[in-house]
């Protein structure tokens, strides 16, 4: 190579490295920039949008259009914008006046024919549905994966007109136009900018409010679907499908796509939903515990709460791990999951005569459902991928014509069945691991299959190892109601205490979330797998994602019955009337043990009683600010959440001994503390001249003193205050690092009618450094 060529090569290499370095330095990420709502620089601009663009403009070279970087301009859920920025631009923006915080965009994940009867709602009786007008006039906004508008659950026959206050739209897009909305589904929008800036759409997906995955259709119909007679999934769970608030209107905000849900899109949807005029926001999505000032859902929901909107969120599916609960802001209703007393038996008959209980929704009318005896195979030697039946892991020569045992985990339950089918297997037994124990989330499998618990799995594998040619057949038993104890806490339901704010007991309540039947898109098979060519109007899902819309619908019923109530009053009504016992009158179980307050919060929802709670613990928006001060949050952190500029020193001086007027108690004794005092304020929403007396079940190791012991309400809407002292009788050694717990409850009982029992769970924690 001559010297000229070497010089040219050196120059090109140097230029390439310089360009690569420059491009990497300028790599763009999506950031949410929060601004001061009354910023000093805003007055120079005629609109919020122009003000927001001016910040981007300051970071760019003169020839670049700032609107090319802007994703969203927020003005209701918070003041600020989402934009694509480089790290150097972020650093520059941080130093500009009126910039409060800059957060990188984060991805979150999405977390019935019978459940309304299980919860005591019966259209044949003069009960809660009639008292609340079935939720008429209330608008439920659902942030999820969109909606399948043709589902019979969204038929508007008999629905009242769209409320005059509604300002939303029916946004057109792929396979979706304004005619897809009606008096039931009154609005639909979709939000892609946050997702597409990070993860371009590679999988065919509807760029519209239309649902591609089924999750959003399922949750929307659970909250407010109209009655659909003769609903079933291939003959299972047949009956009339109804949402919790069948008279309510639904507005859908599609924020979740195949890869997940991005905070910038979620914030944009909340921002618009507040202006659209929703009454309830239902979010069956979330991640892990996050400080409130860094949590977009917490920030957006604070603004929603200030506008009188109840925000209901899923607690998450990371149970049974302690401190796994998400969406734990005190102004959010955080919902865990419970079971129903409806089962779908699929008994495994082993060749040695033993029977193992399992469950499945494999179609009863399919020729393969008759239970032919087959050879069993469990590929447990060497390759763990085969144990889990991952794609490509099952050798055809070993599974063809056989019943394959697959361990739960790694890939989806129904996907394992598809893997078995593609490898030539003809049936499957899905075995719970020690993590799942007896949890029984069923699926509409693509081949004959049964899910068995962990104990049954051990027995099954022992049998397989004990004989040269193990055999089994599956007997499908249809739908069985009322034979099992319920409700119980779902194994996967996220647990407290709250990691970021243990002074508030979370989750708030539990609601049905296991094997819930609800509406399903017509472009998907009931498993949601692309290979599943079957088509149904309803399918089954499990998760706190399913529990959340149950409570969203119940909140709509309460709001319709009491339109003047605040979000805190509605949440109080749902919490203080929740049940701590199951339908047999015994304590709600978590596996084989009585459930604790960190598992179920105040207990299992009871919509009938929630409509007539007698008393409520109301909370004003300003009270939450005092609460944040009491937690030691800084001025800027509180401003990020509330958009209020406060001096916590002054606030706490004016509110000595403050405790948030929450419907539950979380008492924390740190480093030898012996005494804690809480003030609470109850408002009479029942009848005039009502007298309530207190009943206390003291936590072990704690003395509880309540003053006064009697509350006499002369008028409706009158508020009275009481104080409660928790005195520790337990001596905790300093320096042992132990954390111990106890629990009890405090209940105000109506002295005359006995019906109104206003119960608050009590959690006590002893912490030693």
Q: Which residues, in sequence order, are bridge partners of residue 497?
A: none
Q: What would the two tokens of residue 144 be?
A: 């999820």
Strands 332-338 and 509-512: parallel
In 10 A of CB 43, how many CB atoms?
8
| CA–CA dist 684, 716 (Å, integer) | 5
> What's the confidence (pLDDT) of residue 189?
98
Q: Distance of alpha carbon 156 from its chain centroid, rounded?
A: 27
Q: Looking at 105, 144, 271, 407, which residue is catalytic?
A: 144
Mean pLDDT per 10-residue interval, the chain, length 769 residues: 37 33 60 90 90 92 85 92 93 92 88 58 63 87 96 94 96 95 97 84 83 94 91 80 93 92 94 97 88 92 97 93 94 96 91 93 67 88 82 91 91 91 94 81 90 93 93 90 89 92 96 92 87 88 94 96 97 97 94 94 96 97 95 92 91 91 95 90 96 96 97 97 94 73 96 89 90
Q: What would the two tokens of residue 477 be?
A: 């038993």
Element (H, E) at 3: helix 3-25
Q: What is the largest CA-CA distance in the chain?
A: 105
3-state secondary structure of 154: helix
| CA–CA dist 587, 357 (Å, integer) | 24
E strands, 112-184, are: 139-144
Q: Which residues, in sequence order, are bridge partners of residue 237?
A: none
550 catalytic? Reply is: no
Q: What would the two tokens of residue 415 be?
A: 């996907």
Taking alpha carbons only, the member of 513, 511, 540, 521 closest to residue 154 is 521
Contact 99, 35 (CB under 8 A): yes
| CA–CA dist 423, 386 (Å, integer) | 11
Contact 612, 756 (CB under 8 A): yes
Element (H, E) at 350: strand 346-350
| CA–CA dist 666, 763 (Å, integer) | 5
Contact 472, 625 (CB under 8 A): no
> What's the confidence (pLDDT) of residue 366?
59
Q: Give φ, ψ of 610 to 5 degrees.
A: -65, -25
| CA–CA dist 54, 103 (Å, integer) | 19
Residues with Cβ within 8 Å of residue 449, at least 6 apart in sequence: 346, 360, 362, 417, 427, 428, 429, 430, 443, 474
Q: Which residues, in sequence order, are bridge partners of residue 83?
A: 31, 70
Taking alpha carbons only, the member of 145, 231, 233 closest to residue 191 is 145
Q: What would the two tokens of residue 738 be?
A: 């132990």
In 10 A of CB 488, how many CB atoms?
25
Tell whether the torsion through CA atoms of 86, 89, 91 and 96 is positive or negative.
negative
Q: What pTM was computed for the model?
A: 0.90
| CA–CA dist 721, 715 (Å, integer) | 15
DSSP state of 581: B
> What's the confidence (pLDDT) of residue 21?
35
> What's the confidence (pLDDT) of residue 474?
93
| CA–CA dist 509, 491 (Å, integer) | 15
The full DSSP string for 247-301 is TSEEEEEE-EETTEEEHHHHHHHHHHHHHHT-SEEEE-EE-S---GGG-HHHHHH
| CA–CA dist 649, 70 (Å, integer) | 38
Q: What would the two tokens of residue 398 be?
A: 């070993």
Burial 318-348 (b: 16+ CB within 10 A, else e): bbbeebbbbbbbbbbbbbbbbbbbbbbbbbb
Q: What would the two tokens of residue 653 be?
A: 């001086």
Residues with Cβ within 8 Å of residue 632, at least 6 apart in sequence: none
Q: What would the two tokens of residue 276 be?
A: 């659209």
Q: What would the two tokens of residue 47 be?
A: 């609109």
Contact 129, 561 (CB under 8 A): no
Calculate helix-pair angle for 296-306, 635-642, nearest 10 degrees: 60
Strands 99-104 and 346-350: unpaired
Q: Looking at 115, 498, 545, 664, which residue is catalytic?
A: 545
Q: Which residue has the tokens 């929060």?
A: 34
In 10 A of CB 720, how many CB atoms?
17
144 catalytic? Reply is: yes
Q: Give φ, ψ of 101 to 5 degrees.
A: -160, 155
215 catalytic? Reply is: yes
Q: Distance of alpha carbon 644 from its chain centroid, rounded?
A: 28
Between the two ends of the chain, the Cα-to-Cα distance in Å is: 71
| CA–CA dist 719, 616 (Å, integer) | 9
In 10 A of CB 136, how many CB atoms?
17
| CA–CA dist 551, 304 (Å, integer) | 17
| CA–CA dist 163, 419 (Å, integer) | 49
Q: Which residues, in sequence order, are bridge partners of residue 705?
A: 725
- In the chain, % helix, strand, coil (3-state, to 5) comes to 25, 30, 45
Contact 400, 425 (CB under 8 A): yes
3-state secondary structure of 669: strand
| CA–CA dist 313, 335 (Å, integer) | 6
């Amino acid at each position: 190579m001559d010297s000229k060529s070497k010089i040219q090569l050196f120059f090109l290499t140097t230029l390439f490295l310089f360009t690569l370095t420059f491009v990497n330095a300028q790599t763009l990420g999506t950031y949410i920039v929060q601004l001061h709502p009354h910023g000093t620089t805003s007055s120079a601009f005629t609109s919020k949008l122009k003000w927001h663009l001016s910040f981007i403009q300051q970071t760019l070279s003169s020839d670049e259009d700032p609107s090319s970087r802007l994703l969203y301009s927020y003005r209701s859920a918070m003041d600020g914008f989402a934009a694509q920025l480089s790290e150097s631009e972020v650093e520059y923006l941080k130093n500009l006046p009126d910039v409060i915080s800059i957060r990188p965009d984060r991805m979150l994940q999405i977390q019935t024919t019978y459940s309304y009867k299980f919860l005591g709602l019966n259209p044949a009786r003069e009960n809660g549905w009639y008292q609340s007008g079935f939720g008429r006039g209330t608008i439920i906004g659902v942030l999820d994966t969109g909606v399948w508008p043709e589902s019979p659950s969204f038929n508007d026959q008999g629905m009242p007109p769209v409320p005059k206050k509604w300002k939303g739209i029916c946004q057109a897009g792929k396979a979706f136009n304004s005619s897809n909305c009606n008096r039931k589904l009154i609005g639909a929008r979709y939000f892609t900018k946050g997702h597409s800036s990070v993860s371009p759409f590679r999988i065919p997906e509807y760029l519209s409010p239309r649902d591609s995955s089924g999750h959003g259709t399922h949750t929307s119909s659970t909250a407010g679907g109209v009655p659909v007679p003769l609903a079933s999934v291939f003959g299972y769970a047949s009956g009339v499908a109804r949402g919790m608030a069948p008279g309510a209107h639904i507005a859908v905000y599609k924020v979740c796509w195949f890869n997940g849900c991005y905070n910038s899109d979620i914030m944009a949807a909340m921002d618009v939903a507040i202006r659209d005029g929703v009454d309830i926001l239902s979010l069956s999505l979330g991640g892990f515990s996050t400080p409130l000032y860094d949590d977009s859902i917490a920030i957006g929901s604070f603004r929603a709460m200030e506008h009188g909107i109840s925000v209901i969120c899923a607690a998450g599916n990371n149970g049974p791990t302690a401190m796994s609960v998400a969406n734990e802001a005190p102004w959010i209703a955080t919902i865990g999951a419970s079971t129903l007393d409806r089962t779908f038996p699929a008994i495994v008959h082993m060749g040695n005569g033993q029977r193992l209980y399992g469950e499945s929704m494999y179609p009863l009318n399919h020729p393969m459902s008759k239970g032919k005896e087959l050879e069993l195979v469990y590929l447990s030697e060497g390759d763990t991928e085969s144990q889990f039946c991952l794609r490509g892991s099952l050798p055809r020569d070993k599974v063809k014509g056989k019943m394959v045992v697959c361990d739960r985990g790694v890939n989806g339950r129904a996907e394992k069945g598809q893997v078995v089918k593609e490898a030539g297997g003809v049936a499957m037994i899905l075995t719970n691991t020690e993590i799942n124990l007896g949890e029984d989330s069923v699926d509409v499998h693509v081949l004959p299959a049964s899910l068995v618990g962990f104990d049954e799995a051990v027995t099954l594998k022992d049998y397989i190892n004990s004989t040269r040619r193990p055999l089994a057949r599956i007997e499908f038993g249809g739908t069985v109601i009322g034979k099992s104890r319920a409700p119980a806490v779902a194994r996967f339901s996220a647990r407290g205490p709250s990691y970021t704010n243990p002074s508030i007991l979370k989750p708030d309540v539990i609601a049905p979330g296991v094997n819930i039947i609800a509406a399903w898109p017509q472009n998907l098979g009931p498993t949601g797998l692309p290979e599943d060519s079957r088509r149904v109007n309803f399918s089954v899902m499990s998760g706190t994602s399913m529990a959340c819309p149950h409570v969203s619908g119940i909140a709509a019923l309460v709001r319709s019955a009491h339109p003047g109530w605040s979000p805190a009053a509605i949440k109080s009504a749902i919490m203080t009337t929740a049940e701590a016992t199951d339908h047999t009158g015994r304590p709600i179980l978590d596996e084989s043990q009585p459930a604790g307050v960190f598992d179920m919060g105040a207990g299992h929802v009871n919509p009938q009683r929630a409509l007539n709670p007698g008393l409520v613990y109301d909370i004003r928006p300003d009270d939450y600010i005092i609460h944040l001060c009491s937690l030691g949050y800084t001025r800027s952190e509180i401003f990020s959440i509330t958009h209020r500029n406060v001096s916590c020193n002054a606030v706490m001086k004016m509110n000595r001994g403050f405790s948030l007027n929450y419907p539950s108690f979380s008492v924390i004794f740190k480093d030898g503390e012996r005494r804690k005092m809480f003030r609470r304020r109850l408002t009479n929403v029942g009848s005039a001249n009502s007298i309530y007396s207190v009943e206390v079940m003291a936590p072990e190791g704690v003395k509880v003193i309540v003053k006064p012991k009697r509350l006499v309400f002369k008028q409706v809407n009158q508020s009275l205050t009481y104080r409660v002292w928790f005195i520790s009788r337990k001596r905790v050694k300093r320096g042992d690092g132990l954390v111990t717990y106890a629990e009890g409850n405090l209940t105000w009982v109506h002295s005359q009618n006995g019906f109104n029992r206003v119960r608050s769970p009590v959690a006590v924690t002893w912490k030693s450094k």
